[in-house]
Amino acid sequence: MNTAIHAIPQESTGLAMFDRARERLATFPLSILQLGMRIGVGAVFFKAGLIKYNSPEFTLLLFRDEYQVPLLPPEVAAQMAMVQELTIPILLFVGLATRLATLPMLGMILVIQTFVYPEAWTDHFMWASALVFVLTRGPGVFSLDHLIARGLASRAAGR
**What's the domain range around 61?**
30-158
Number of domains the chain is built from: 1
Segment 19-30, tens digit of pLDDT: 999 999 999 999
Domain membership flag for residue 13? no
Domain membership flag for residue 5? no
Domain membership flag for residue 116? yes
Q: Is the pLDDT assigned to residue 159 strictly greater than 90?
A: no
Rounded distance between C-alpha atoms, residue 41 and residue 107, angstroms: 13
Entry pTM: 0.85
Question: What rounded mean pLDDT belongs to the chain?
Answer: 93
Domain membership flag for residue 23? no
Domain membership flag for residue 114? yes
- Cα distances from 94 to residues 35, 126, 146, in angstroms, run 9, 21, 10
Segment 45-104, tens digit of pLDDT: 999 999 999 999 999 999 999 998 889 999 999 999 999 999 999 999 999 999 999 999
Rounded distance between C-alpha atoms, residue 52 and residue 158, angstroms: 48
Helix extents (H) in the chain: 14-26, 30-54, 56-61, 74-94, 98-111, 121-137, 144-158
What percentage of the chain carries pLDDT values higher than 90?
Answer: 85
Q: Is the pLDDT assigned to residue 11 strictly greater than 80?
A: no
Domain membership flag for residue 17? no
The reported pLDDT for the residue numbered 30 is 96
Domain membership flag for residue 71? yes
The reported pLDDT for the residue numbered 158 is 78
Residues 151-159: what's their mean pLDDT?
86
Q: Is the pLDDT assigned to residue 119 strictly greater than 70?
A: yes
Domain membership flag for residue 105? yes
The reported pLDDT for the residue numbered 13 is 83
The reported pLDDT for the residue numbered 83 is 98
Q: Is the pLDDT assigned to residue 10 strictly greater than 80?
A: no
Which residues make Cβ contacts (< 8 Å) with residue 76, sequence separation at least 6?
Answer: none
The separation between CA 62 and the C-alpha centre of its own chain, rounded to angstroms, equals: 25
- Cα distances from 93 to residues 1, 8, 26, 61, 136, in angstroms, run 63, 50, 25, 30, 17
53 in Cβ contact with 87 (< 8 Å): no
